[in-house]
Amino acid sequence: MESRKLKIRDLTLRDGQQSLFATRLDQKTIDQLLPLYKDAGFYIMEVWGGAVPDSVMRYLDESPWNRLRTISKAIEGKSLLSALSRGRNLFGYVPYPDSVLEGFYKEAIANGLNVMRIFDALNDIDNVKESIKLINELGGIADGAVCYTVDPKPEAPAAPAPTGFMGKLKSMFGGAPKVEEPEKIFTDDYFVNKAKEMEALGAKIITLKDMAGLVNPSRAASIIGRLKRELKVPVDFHTHCTPGYGLASSLMAILNGVDILDTNIWWFGGGSAAPAIELVYIFCQRLGIEVECDMKAVGRIRDRLLDARRGLKDFDLHAADMQRPFDPLKDELPANVAAQFDSAIAAAKAGDEDALLNACHAIEEYFGFPKPNLIVKDAEVPGGMYSNMVAQLKALQASDLLEDAMKLIPKVRRDAGLVPLVTPTSQIVGSQAVSLALDRKKGNPDYSNPSNQFISLVKGEYGHTPVPVDPEFRAKITGSPEEKAYDVSSYRKPENPVLEDLGGVKLAANDEEYLLLELLPSVANGFLRRRRQEEYDATAAANAPEIEVVDETPEEPITGEVLSAPMGGRIIDVKVKAGDKVKPGDVLLVYEAMKMENDVVADKEAVIKRLFVKVNDVVGVEAPLIEFAD
Q: Which of 310, 342, 375 corresponds to the end of one domain?
A: 375
Whether pLDDT at 246 is above 90: yes
Percentage with pLDDT > 90 across the chain: 60
Whether pLDDT at 167 is above 60: no
Alpha helices, DSSP H, located in 351-382: 353-367, 374-379
Same domain, residue pair 485 and 506: no
Whether pLDDT at 215 is above 70: yes
- Tens digits of residue pLDDT in 32-85: 999 999 999 999 999 998 889 999 999 999 999 999 999 999 999 999 999 998
Whether pLDDT at 262 is above 60: yes
Report yes or no on 381 lying in a domain.
no
Q: What is the pTM of this model?
A: 0.83
Q: Using DSSP, how many helices (H) and how many strands (E) does the chain show?
A: 22, 19
Higher pLDDT, 91 or 274: 274
Distance, CA of 16 to CA of 272 (rounded, Å) = 9
Same domain, residue pair 596 and 584: yes
Tell me the three state secondary structure of residue 48: strand
Asked whether 200 and 232 are in contact (CB, 8 A), the reply is no
At residue 62, the pLDDT reads 96
| Residue ranges making up the domain that contains 605 | 562-628
Percentage with pLDDT > 70 across the chain: 90
Q: Which of 507, 539, 571 corresponds to the end of one domain?
A: 539
Q: What is the mean pLDDT of residues 5-13?
A: 97
Residue 76 zone, left/alpha/beta (φ > 0; ψ -120 to 50; rest): left
Same domain, residue pair 454 and 572: no
- Tens digits of residue pLDDT in 529-557: 999 999 999 887 766 555 555 555 566 78
Same domain, residue pair 225 and 274: yes
Q: What is the mean pLDDT of residues 484-494?
A: 82
Whether pLDDT at 232 is above 60: yes
Report yes or no on 166 lying in a domain.
no
At residue 169, the pLDDT reads 46
Whether pLDDT at 481 is above 60: yes
The closest of 244, 279, 243 to 261, measured between CA atoms, is 279
CB atoms within 10 A of CB 161: 7
Distance, CA of 72 to CA of 108 (rounded, Å) = 11
Same domain, residue pair 458 and 524: no
At residue 170, the pLDDT reads 47
Same domain, residue pair 101 and 234: yes
Same domain, residue pair 364 and 483: no
User: pLDDT band at residue 158, thresholds of 50, 70 and 90?
Assistant: very low
At residue 172, the pLDDT reads 46
- Tens digits of residue pLDDT in 390-405: 777 887 788 888 888 8
Kindly report the three-state secondary structure assignment for every residue of 605-630.
CEEEEEECCCCCCEECCCCEEEEECC
Q: What is the mean pLDDT of residues 385-393?
A: 75
- Tens digits of residue pLDDT in 497-511: 999 999 999 999 999
Distance, CA of 363 to CA of 337 (rounded, Å) = 6
Task: Name, in order, each residue with C-beta under 8 angstroms of 223's C-beta and a sequence gap of 6 or more.
Answer: 148, 188, 191, 192, 208, 215
Same domain, residue pair 235 and 191: yes
Residue 180 has phi, psi (to 5 degrees) of -85, 120
Report yes or no on 142 lying in a domain.
yes
Name which of 167-171, 488-492, 532-536, 545-549 the model is least confident about. Answer: 167-171
Q: What is the mean pLDDT of residues 13-20?
A: 92
At residue 489, the pLDDT reads 75
Q: What is the CATH number of the domain that holds 584?
A: 2.40.50.100
Q: What is the CATH number of the domain that holds 46?
A: 3.20.20.70
Same domain, residue pair 214 and 309: yes
Instruction: Provide DSSP, 429-453.
Output: HHHHHHHHHHHHHHTPPTTSS--HH
Kindly report the three-state secondary structure assignment for every residue of 131-171.
HHHHHHHCCCEEEEEEECCCCCCCCCCCCCCCCHHHHHHHH
- Tens digits of residue pLDDT in 182-194: 678 999 999 999 9
User: pLDDT band at residue 576, thresholds of 50, 70 and 90?
Assistant: confident
User: pLDDT band at residue 161, thresholds of 50, 70 and 90?
Assistant: very low
Report yes or no on 581 lying in a domain.
yes
Report yes or no on 390 lying in a domain.
no
Whether pLDDT at 595 is above 60: no
DSSP class of residue 598 equals E
Mean pLDDT score of the chain, rounded to an integer?
88
At residue 397, the pLDDT reads 81
Report yes or no on 386 lying in a domain.
no
Name which of 6-15, 253-262, 456-465 the model is least confident about. Answer: 456-465
Q: What is the mean pLDDT of residues 302-330?
A: 91
- Tens digits of residue pLDDT in 434-451: 999 999 999 999 999 999
Same domain, residue pair 517 and 451: no
Tell me the three state secondary structure of residue 523: helix
Q: Which of 311, 346, 375 corresponds to the end of one domain?
A: 375
At residue 153, the pLDDT reads 73
Q: What is the mean pLDDT of residues 249-264?
A: 98
Report yes or no on 196 lying in a domain.
yes
**Residue type for position 37:** Y
Same domain, residue pair 224 and 239: yes
Same domain, residue pair 527 and 586: no
Report yes or no on 600 lying in a domain.
yes
Element (H, E) at 405: helix 402-415
Distance, CA of 14 to CA of 19 (rounded, Å) = 9
Report how many domains make up the chain: 4
